[in-house]
């Protein structure tokens, strides 16, 4: 099998830069911009904050890291770790003790919540102003031993919550719901459903965001805070993609729900030429698009995609033939008069220079300046990582 012309696995990085393993001269490196701090799960399994513009190599799934890129989101809970603050409502006999234990951050900053008994009159919640939109609340919880049941969610004039089962291991729970028109809503609303009064409920990292699904934790200390979008651009050059044949492969460990589309593209100096793989805003479709000279010349839309499952997607392009692959299968082939995209010069994790940034955990990106055969494309999809593929090819990544 051929060696990729450009390959990125999440490994080396510094502020503003994500290094590709190929090519070795630096032309394949990505520029990373995010105008805010953000969090990731580090190699020790702890939630940590990284500085603005620093790529987030995330170890949430264990094993090798993935590149975490997200859209902008805001935490509306202004005291995400200080549950003793008066902004948190404590009904009934609910009592909060600060700095009780070691939180998922590795610091001694979790809080103990004691409800006294298991009646729903004992509640903890944070009021936020909401509109008629999708919202998600999330929080880290554990109990001292065994398991306990709680209700978690929202109250915007009606009960909108779910039962959660909390164990002695830290877990991040989330609940998403479409809320009613503008109102003051009880968010991160938790109360006992079935709990032994001797159990201690530890709590950390509360978040409510106007999103249809949970995003990475955003710390607040008295005001709402916004995590800016991750914009990853600049890999490759016109020499990298100066070819009459192309194979473009991505391995997305997961793609998260959002109300926006999410793209990864090889583009030219303008929007008239590109090879693009995009998650549609309905969160159930993938669109492949080949554009040449300002016209869409080939494409394929895949439906009923479960983006909580890892997706391996590939497209091969040559004049008058385009093939589409997913998770080890050749899906379809376009033939006929299909002109090639020209003047391609950059691989970006977005649709254009700023539009539709990729909202994903990316494990692997590869580009070949030739069309791999169907057998070769299916073989590369069988490898779990680029390092595994390199080992099979007896190729060493320097």
Q: Spell out the per-residue pLDDT of the chain, length 398, in tens.
A: 789 999 999 999 999 999 999 998 999 999 999 999 999 999 999 999 999 999 999 999 888 899 999 999 999 999 999 999 999 999 998 999 999 999 999 999 999 999 877 777 899 999 999 998 999 999 999 998 889 999 999 998 888 999 999 999 999 999 999 998 778 899 999 999 876 666 789 999 999 999 999 999 999 999 999 999 999 999 999 999 988 999 999 998 876 666 667 888 989 866 789 999 988 877 788 889 999 988 999 999 988 888 778 899 999 999 999 999 999 999 999 999 999 999 999 999 987 666 678 888 999 999 999 999 999 999 999 877 666 665 655 455 54
For residues 106 and 46, what is the distance between their CA atoms, to the nearest angstrom? 6
Beta-bridge partners for 248: 315, 367
For residues 163 and 194, what is the distance between their CA atoms, to the nearest angstrom? 10
Q: What is the pLDDT of residue 270?
A: 66
Q: What is the pLDDT of residue 383?
A: 75
CB of 348 within 8 A of CB of 355? no
Q: Residue with structure tokens 């492949």?
A: 288
Q: In the CATH hierarchy, which fold is given to the domain comprising 6-71+231-392? A: Jelly Rolls (2.60.120)
For residue 75, what are the CA distances in angstroms to 57, 63, 171, 281, 396?
A: 22, 29, 19, 22, 43
Tell me if residue 319 falls in helix, strand or coil. Answer: coil
| Cα 141 from chain centre | 21
Span(s) in the chain for CATH 2.60.120.260: 74-227
Span(s) in the chain for CATH 2.60.120.200: 6-71+231-392
Q: Which H or E run includes 89?
A: strand 88-91
For residue 52, what are the CA distances in angstroms to 35, 39, 211, 279, 309?
A: 5, 10, 22, 26, 29
Nearest to 319 by CA among 334, 340, 335: 340
Q: Does domain 74-227 have CATH number 2.60.40.1240?
A: no
For residues 64 and 62, what is the distance between their CA atoms, to the nearest angstrom? 6
CB of 229 within 8 A of CB of 181? no
Side-chain-facing half-sphere of 4: CA atoms under 13 Å = 27
Q: What is the pLDDT of residue 387?
A: 63
CB of 179 within 8 A of CB of 154? yes
Which residues have C-beta within 8 Å of that of residue 203, sequence separation ≥ 6? 83, 110, 111, 112, 113, 124, 139, 140, 141, 190
């Amino acid at each position: 099998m051929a060696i990729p012309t450009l390959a990125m696995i999440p490994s080396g990085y510094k502020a503003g830069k994500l290094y590709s393993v190929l090519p070795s001269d630096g032309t394949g490196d990505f520029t990373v911009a995010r105008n805010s701090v953000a969090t990731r799960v580090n190699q020790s399994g702890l939630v940590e904050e990284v500085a603005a513009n620093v790529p987030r190599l995330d170890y949430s799934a264990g094993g090798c890291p993935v590149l975490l890129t997200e859209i902008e989101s805001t935490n509306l809970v202004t005291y995400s770790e200080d549950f003793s603050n008066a902004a948190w409502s404590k009904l009934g006999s609910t009592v909060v003790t600060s700095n009780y234990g070691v939180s998922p951050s590795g610091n001694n900053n979790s809080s103990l919540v004691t409800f006294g008994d298991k009646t729903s009159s004992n509640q903890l919640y944070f009021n936020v102003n909401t509109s008629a939109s999708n919202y998600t609340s999330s929080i880290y919880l554990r109990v001292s031993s065994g398991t306990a049941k709680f209700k978690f969610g929202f109250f915007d004039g009606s009960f909108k919550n779910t039962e959660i089962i909390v164990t002695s291991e830290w877990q991040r729970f989330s609940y998403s719901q479409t809320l009613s028109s503008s109102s003051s809503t009880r968010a991160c609303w938790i109360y006992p459903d079935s709990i032994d009064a001797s159990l201690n409920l530890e709590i950390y990292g509360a978040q409510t965001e106007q999103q249809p699904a949970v995003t990475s934790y955003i710390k607040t200390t008295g005001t709402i805070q916004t995590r800016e979008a991750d914009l990853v651009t600049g890999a490759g050059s016109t020499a990298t993609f100066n070819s009459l044949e192309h194979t473009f492969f991505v391995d997305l460990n997961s793609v998260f729900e959002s109300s926006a589309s999410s793209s990864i593209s090889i583009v030219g100096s303008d929007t008239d030429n590109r090879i693009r793989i995009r998650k549609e805003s309905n969160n159930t479709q993938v669109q492949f698009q080949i554009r040449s000279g300002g016209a869409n010349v080939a494409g394929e839309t895949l439906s009923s995609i479960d983006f909580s499952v890892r997706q391996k997607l590939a497209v091969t392009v040559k004049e008058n033939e385009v093939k589409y692959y997913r998770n080890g299968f050749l899906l379809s082939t376009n033939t006929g008069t299909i002109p090639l995209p020209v003047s391609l010069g950059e691989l970006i994790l977005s649709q254009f220079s700023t539009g539709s940034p990729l909202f994903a955990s990316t494990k692997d990106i590869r580009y070949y300046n030739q069309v791999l055969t169907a057998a070769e494309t299916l073989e590369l999809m069988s490898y779990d990582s680029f390092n595994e593929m390199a080992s099979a090819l007896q190729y060493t990544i320097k």
